[in-house]
Every structure is written in C-alpha cells, then in structure tokens.
Structure 1
Amino acid sequence: MTTPPADEGTAAAAPPPGCPAHAALPADPAARSDAGVARLAGAEHKSDPMGMYARLRAEYGSVAPVLMEGDLPAWLVLGYRENLDVVRTPNRFSRDSRNWGSYRRGDVAPDSPLLPLVGWQPLCAFLDGEEAERLRSAVTDSLGRLDRRGVRRHVTRFANQLIDGFAADGTADLVARFAEQLPMLVMTQLFGMKDEYGPSLVEATLDLVRGSETAFRSNEYVVEVLEQYIPLKREQPGHDIGSWLMAHPAGLSDEEVLQHLRMILVAANENTTICIGNTLRMVLTDHRFRASLAGARMTLPDAVEQVLWDEPSTMVCPGRWAVGDTELGDRQIKAGDMILLGLAAGNADPEIRPDLSVPMHGNRSHLAFSGGPHECPGQDIGRAITETAVDVLLARLPDIHLAVEDKELVWVSSWMSRHLTALPVAFTPRRPSPSAEVPAGRGPGLPGAGEAAWSAGQGVGEREAAVAGQAGAYAAAAPRSAAAHPAPPPVPASAPTVGAAPPVTSRRRAPRRSLWRRFTGWLSGR
C-alpha cells in the first residue's frame, strides 16, 4: 500500500519508511512549511516548473528530495554534472526498475500511475549490461544506416503536403495541423510502409499518448500493424529500419522486434512533435531569434539546439535506481532509491550557464537526449525532422506570425514534460504548391480524422496511457484536448496493406498475453 496522498497544501499523515523527501526535512512538521515538500504532480510544478527547480536548488543544492504520485519518494537531480554522473555510471545507478526499493517493499499500489512508466519490460531501455548492449546495438545500428538526405526528402514532401492543406486559409494551428502530424508520416516512410498507413498511425499514436478512453484500442491498432509488418519484412526485406533490425546479428525475436519498433515509433513521434512546436514558438515570438536566422548570424540547426537547451521535450526523465548505498551531490542515496533525471533543470544549472540569455550556438552538450549508455538513439532523426520542417514552413509562409499574444498561449504540464496545446498563426493566404500530392492528412481508403470513431463494441473503455521503456517517458506528456483531436478512425475492414501484407482487420482478437499486455493488465482489471 502507498501512503495516502496528502491533499494539496497539506502534509501526509505518515511518511513512507526510508522516504528521502521526508528524511531530508525536519522531523517535526511544525519546524517546516508544507512548501518544503516538493510534489512533482503538484500545482507548483505544473504552473512554473523552472521556478520550482530554482527554489529546490537554492534549498537543497544539486540533488533534491521530491514526492511522486502517492507520496512515493524519489531524488530529483538538478545539477548538470550530477545528471551526467548518474547516466554514465550504470554500476551505481541502474536502468533496471526491478531494483526499485518502494516496489520491493510493497509501497507501490497496483493501480499506481507510475507503473506504466517505470515497470520493468524486456526492452533495451530497461536493461543494463550485455543484454542491453545486444538489443541497443540492433536499434542504434539500424537507425544509423538511414540516409540523412533521404530523411530530409521525406520531411520536405510531407511538410509541403501539410502546408498545402491550410495555405489558402491564411490561419492555422501549427500544433494540430503540422507538428503533431509530420513526425509519424515521416517515420512510416523510414519503416518502409506505404503512405496510406501514415494518417491512421498519426491518429492512433496521438490518441494513445492522450490516454483517452480509446487509447487501449489505439495501442492495439499500432500492435496489429506491426504484427503484419514483421512477417512481411522478414520475407521481403527492404531498405528500412524494420528490415535492418530483423537482419541484425543480435538476432532479435519477433516479439523483441515488435516492442522496439513500437518504442521507436512512439518515442520519435512524441519527442519530435514537442520539439517542432517549441522551435516554431521561439522563432515566432522571439524577434531576436528570427532576426538572427534572417541575418545568417544563426543557422537553423543552431536554433534547434538552443531550443533543446532551453525547452527540452522531456523535462524530467524517470528511470534510474540506486544499486547500492552511495552518495550523489552531497546526498546519501540508499539502495533502491529512485533517481529522476532533471534534464531541464540540468540544462539551466548556473554552474554551467550563469547567464541563460547567452546563446548556446553550436553546443550540443545539453541533456535533452539524456546521456551515457542509454542516450536517445534517435536524436539525429528528431533533429533532421525538426530542422527541415521549420525550414520548409518559413520558406513557404515567409510572413507567418503569431495570431495571439505570446502570453495567451496555453501550456499543459505533467511532472515529466510541458508542451503547447495550440500555436495559432496567421499569414498571407497562398495557393498550394504546384507539385501538391494527396494531402498527408488523408490517404486512399482511409476515413479522415473524425469521420468515424471507435465504438464500444470494438473493445473500448480500457484506459492505457503507458508506452514502452524510454518511449513511455516521452509519451506520458499531459493529454491533449480531446476536443481538438478526435479519436482515430476504427481499423478498416480492409485497411491498406504494407507492401503485400494481408489487411489489418477490425475483428476483436483474443487478448494478447505478451509481456506488454501482462504488464498493463492491471489497467483494465484483469
């Protein structure tokens, strides 16, 4: 059982045993204020996360005690060097969540919202040592074979198609109509899928990370597509990520291939979506930023790196556990303690950035992609998609500007991330490009977004907001507005095929008892 969570602004009745957050504070509640207990799911972090990090740094130094959902204790790493220390020493701080002391002691409730994010799974992101190296080498080698010019061609093509969809309107929401659409459309091409799968996977993954009532079915759709994709690619390999992953000397099983492909899809989509939105906002709201681009004093890659320093897609990354008793930032860490990587806080550490207004042009030493043996393997893809997307948009709509005041933009924050709900812009209406193809938002044979919805008879009602491994950290960003993004269309009775694959059917299948389903079974009470 977990200690019952305290009401906002009140202290818990009794601290969990060995809780670092409580141990670091005066034992007598009268000797401290409630503000001393930092709750990452609390109002302060949601409204002003960077302000809270600064307060904790002033009070505790580079490592601060915090409370997670259910008053579960953890250490939040605020220092840049301390973050690097954690990620570079897996012998002290393991990625294997089976080391989690709170879970071993039975302090984590079976319905804890943390479990989908940190519960152990047989993915490279949840392993250390030889097995992690085997799986990760297959992923990194496969991603490393991509032709960057080819990636940029795909981005340019789909970016132009998306822009053609709203160019004549003179207004658009760049989050809903551009940033949230583009990454998945590109990823399906890098997987060697036909165009027709892009729109449906865009809608399914958006619904999945929103954690809506149809999220469970959306995840099932993604899995069904990959289940068809894998045997086809084993029989007819191509020049794509999936084929390379299956042919890798590491010898991944079909289940390992499926789960890692799913991790790549969801992680790349969510992380890059946020990065595109943040980069566009900075270009549109900071006049010095855009002037530097126009005057060639800063390149677009420089601009993206600046955004990764100032607004990393993932602000707090869960997923390290102390292997034994140790010390970090003058704090005594006990075996089994959870360590949270404060990526945004580390990037703003005054020890390395005393003046945050000084540009970080050409400096890639930020923490946006973590570091060490578990550093994000797909970061170059994310950079290429973001840089090319922004470049194409600014070239097509050179007078684009924000349609509201910067202060009117709405942000949604979770304990891990912060992103825009919308980015409304205005520009001079323009004709679609002469080479316009079928708009990327629609594919032959697929219903458009909102034309059909999942029905209760198709197994809806089970809530699943979890994503696998490190992908979970990115995908667990706070839900988008359901009104802004309707549920994905149902799996068509005869969906477009991946190459020559048989159609994905909409019939209800027997429950998958894969490791993923066994792990998330608690979500639906099974």
Structure 2
Amino acid sequence: MTSPEQQQCPVRPGVVPLSGPRFHTDPHHLYNEMRREHGAVVAVELPGGVPAWLIVGYREMHQVTNNAELFPRDVSLWNQWGNIPEDWPLLPMVGQPMPSIYFTAGAEHRRHLSMVESALESVDPFELRRVCESLADRLIDAFCGRGTADLMAEFAEPLPILAMAALLGFADADGPHLAWSMKVMANGGADAQSAHLQFMGHMQRLVAAKKAMPGDDLVSRMLADPTPFTDEEYVNDLMAITAAGHLTTCDWLGNSVRLMLIDDRFAAALGGGRRSISQAMNEVLWEETPTSILAGRWAARDTRLADKVIRAGDLLLLGLAAANTDPHVRQHVSESGHTGNNAHFAFSHGEYRCPFPAQQSAEIIARTGIEVLLDRLPDIDLSVPAQNLVRRPSPFMHGMASLPVVFSPVRAVGGFQ
C-alpha cells in the first residue's frame, strides 16, 4: 500500500511537481515557464514522489523519439521499480513489464506491431465512415429534441467506443463500461488500478469469445495472424488498441468542437464549411493535442539530453503538448494557424509512433462525428462562458470534463422525439 510519506512526499528543490490545476487550466503558460526556468528537459516528480524527466522542447523530442535504441519504450529498464508501490494509481498509464505492443522494444515490439498493423490495415475506411454516420445519428437522436446536451457525455465519449465495438466485435452494451474504465485509468485517481483490472477482464472475455467463434472483426483477424501469440499478449495488445483508439479520439472530437465554438477562425465550420472542420482538427493536434504527456521512454544507458545528465533507467515523459507549442516551432506559425502542417507530435514519432492505420481510423471517427453533428444541429452554441469549461483531471490526457451546449430542437431522424 502507498504510505502517508509517499502520498505527501515533498518535492525536491529544482524539481517541478507534475500535478496541480495549471496543467488543466493554463498549460501553455506553464510549459513556457518550465522552458524558461529549467530548459528543454525538466526534472519533474509524479504523485507519490516518483522522479522523471519531462521533455518540453521540440528538437529534444525529435532526438528521443528518433533514437529507439538509446531511449526504448522498455519499462523493464526503469531504475525506480524498487520504489514503486503496487497500488500506485499511475501504474496503468506509465506501464508494467508485460508482453505487448506498447511496453516492449526492438524485435519484440516489431513482432507485435506487425500483427496489430496488419489487422488495422484491413479496416475498410468507407464502411467505418458509414458505421460512424449511423452511430452519430443514433446518439444525436437521443438529445436533439431537448435543445440542450453535454456533448462530452452524450456524444464525444460514446461515439468512439461504439465505433470500436463495431471494429473489434464486442457488444454495444459493453461500451459504457469500457469507456468508464479507460477514463478512470487516464485520470490517475484512486480507482485507476481497479478500473485497469475491469478493462483487462473485458478484453480477456472478448479474446475467449472470438477464439470460440471468430467473426469479421479486428480481434478475429489478430487471432488469425500466422505468428503465434499467447492469450495474455492478445489481451495486452487489445487493451493498447482500445485505450488509444477511444481516449484520444474522444478528446480530439471534443476539443475540435470546442475550438469551432470559441474561435472565429473556424466559424465557417458551423455553416457547413468542410475545410474549416479539417483545419480545426489539425489545429487541435497542435494546440490542444488529446495526449498532452505520454509515458514513456527509459534511458538504455547514461547520456546527456540538452543540458541534463540522464542516468540509465531514468523515465522520460514525452511532453507532446509542450513540444508542439515550443517557441522554436511557433515562430513559423502564421495568423491562420498550422494549415497544412502535420509535423506535430500528436501521434508521437519514430518507431513507437501510433500506427498510420490507427491514425486514419481515429480521423474518420472524429471527423464523421463532427460533420454529422453540425449537419443535424447547425446553430449549436456553448451554454456557458468558454472560460467556465473544465478539463478532465488527467496528468496525461487533455480533454474536456463536459461540453454543455444549446441549439434549436429538431426531430430525430428515426422519427419524432
């Protein structure tokens, strides 16, 4: 169990605590302060007194993500294992030694990647879009007659997990439970460990069901791969696919709608301007990227990064949001934003980046959801001042806790409300 000393461990001088409201209310100014006071690589402390390095520089992020041998995603290298309590709430997000696409390196990582990427490449983008249009209509039908809604709880959160249900082959009824467990894991609170176990249980039952009765779905195609994998490996890879596919897509959709409602540059999207939707979604990947901090990389040996000495086994956290807003990058941004510029770190970079087929599926789900929403509810607007909107309390994800809106009530496409 976590001792009171671990829970209330004072932060060492010169070390930035990786917690507090400013990570959710004022992240850009906070990252600029870090850069000014500590440089491009910052000594930080995770809750429980766990030390790490946070990379906030764009060039330094390239160095780390481009060098998989020096900075592998191999959690077994961590030099803090002796100090990590078994019930540490952030353990599900930071990781544990396990055979999976996410927590292995080198040839073992590539073995998992080959199987997962092959299955993801089989997804038909046109069919996925058709499914997402139907799901979006179904979700909007449930609230369109009211004239008010919380777009996070009623639309942005359920849409990606229902799309994942169609892709992976689990029941729609399991969606809310899976979405809840992943959100609780990402928030890193006291229930994170139990949520992780529930999430794992869902995936174990799904693998067992598909082994007994294969279908036309992603899980069955993974199971049919000629490379042998254990049930544990399938479960771990499915957890990685589902969590990454749901959480980031949910926040990409929610952050994009929020941007279109508060920023005049994207107002055309509300009038059917498809180009504005694309521009807003790309702007979000730069300015409000769904994954703000990604764990992690572990140094394979002693080295230097920027002006810091990194010891073998040190944990490096990828400050994706901070790197995207590095002044070295922003000085080249025009008043119209990052139009046409995809050199962001929203999907990470290098050998461990998000597989391209997964990026494509996430874009289809989020974009289709936004297009259907704006087609159905063209006069949508925030029901609270923009400054009153609150982010979720996750140290890793940058999404809205809620997105309350108002609009003119309309009929459901399936009939009268």
Same fold? TM cut 0.5: yes
Letter aligned with residue 338 of structure 2: M
Letter aligned with residue 265 of structure 1: T
1:391 deviates by 0.4
Which residue of structure 2 aligns with residue 177 of structure 1? 154
Instruction: Indicate yes or no: 2:370 matched with 1:390.
Output: yes
Superposed, 1:348-387 pairs within 5 Å as 348-354=325-331, 357-377=335-355, 378-387=358-367
Equivalent in 148, 155, 163 of residue 132 of structure 2? 155
Which residue of structure 2 aligns with residue 479 of structure 1? none
Equivalent in 33, 45, 48 of residue 23 of structure 2? 45
Which residue of structure 2 aligns with residue 124 of structure 1? 101
SS at 1:320's partner residue?
Answer: strand
The answer to whether the 8 A contact 1:314-1:343 is kept is yes
The answer to whether the 8 A contact 1:101-1:336 is kept is yes
Task: Measure, in 2, the Cα distance between the counterparts of 1:353 and 1:180.
Answer: 31
The 1:227–1:98 alpha-carbon spacing in structure 2 relative to 1, beyond 3 Å, is closer
The answer to whether the 8 A contact 2:272-2:375 is kept is no
The answer to whether the 8 A contact 2:72-2:298 is kept is yes
Which residue of structure 1 aligns with residue 396 of structure 2? 416
SS at 2:80's partner residue?
Answer: helix
- 313-322 vs 44-53, greater mean Cα deviation: 44-53
The answer to whether the 8 A contact 1:168-1:432 is kept is yes
Which residue of structure 2 aligns with residue 291 of structure 1? 268
The answer to whether the 8 A contact 2:167-2:218 is kept is yes
- 193-202 vs 81-90, greater mean Cα deviation: 193-202
Higher fraction of helix: 2
1:303 deviates by 2.0
The 1:197–1:363 alpha-carbon spacing in structure 2 relative to 1, beyond 3 Å, is same
Which residue of structure 2 aligns with residue 504 of structure 1? none
Larger radius of gyration: 1
- The gaps in structure 1 that reach 5 residues or longer are 16-21, 23-35, 440-526
Which residue of structure 2 aligns with residue 142 of structure 1? 119
Task: Measure, in 2, the Cα distance between the counterparts of 1:86 and 1:2.
Answer: 34
The answer to whether the 8 A contact 1:306-1:359 is kept is yes
The 1:72–1:212 alpha-carbon spacing in structure 2 relative to 1, beyond 3 Å, is closer
The one-character-per-residue Cα deviations of 1:108-162 (angstroms, maximum 9, x if unpaired) are: 3444334333322221211111111101111111111101111111111110000
Which residue of structure 1 aligns with residue 386 of structure 2? 406
SS at 2:399's partner residue?
Answer: strand
Which residue of structure 2 aligns with residue 319 of structure 1? 296
Letter aligned with residue 157 of structure 1: S
1:40 deviates by 0.8
Equivalent in 426, 434, 445 of residue 406 of structure 2? 426
Which residue of structure 1 aligns with residue 48 of structure 2? 70
The answer to whether the 8 A contact 1:3-1:107 is kept is no
Letter aligned with residue 115 of structure 1: L
Equivalent in 72, 80, 89 of residue 113 of structure 1? 89
1:264 deviates by 1.5
Letter aligned with residue 300 of structure 2: V
Which residue of structure 2 aligns with residue 93 of structure 1? 71
Percent identity reads 37
Length-normalised TM-score, structure 1: 0.72
Superposed, 1:134-283 pairs within 5 Å as 134-203=111-180, 205-206=182-183, 222-283=199-260
Task: Measure, in 2, the Cα distance between the counterparts of 1:230 and 1:110.
Answer: 26
Task: Measure, in 2, the Cα distance between the counterparts of 1:223 and 1:38.
Answer: 33
Task: Measure, in 2, the Cα distance between the counterparts of 1:241 and 1:217.
Answer: 26
- 286-295 vs 214-223, greater mean Cα deviation: 214-223
Letter aligned with residue 384 of structure 1: I
Which residue of structure 2 aligns with residue 345 of structure 1? 322
Length-normalised TM-score, structure 2: 0.89
The 1:390–1:236 alpha-carbon spacing in structure 2 relative to 1, beyond 3 Å, is same
The one-character-per-residue Cα deviations of 1:395-432 (angstroms, maximum 9, x if unpaired) are: 00011111111112122343223321111111111110
1:381 deviates by 1.5
1:198 deviates by 3.8
The 1:412–1:391 alpha-carbon spacing in structure 2 relative to 1, beyond 3 Å, is same
The 1:258–1:279 alpha-carbon spacing in structure 2 relative to 1, beyond 3 Å, is same
Letter aligned with residue 373 of structure 2: L
The 1:329–1:209 alpha-carbon spacing in structure 2 relative to 1, beyond 3 Å, is closer
The answer to whether the 8 A contact 1:64-1:75 is kept is yes
The one-character-per-residue Cα deviations of 1:208-228 (angstroms, maximum 9, x if unpaired) are: 656788776765555454444
The one-character-per-residue Cα deviations of 1:445-495 (angstroms, maximum 9, x if unpaired) are: xxxxxxxxxxxxxxxxxxxxxxxxxxxxxxxxxxxxxxxxxxxxxxxxxxx
The answer to whether the 8 A contact 2:17-2:45 is kept is yes
Task: Measure, in 2, the Cα distance between the counterparts of 1:195 and 1:42.
Answer: 36
The answer to whether the 8 A contact 1:318-1:340 is kept is yes
Q: How many matched pairs? A: 412
The answer to whether the 8 A contact 1:185-1:202 is kept is no
1:245 deviates by 0.6
Q: What is the aligned-residue RMSD (CA, Å)? A: 2.9
SS at 1:309's partner residue?
Answer: helix
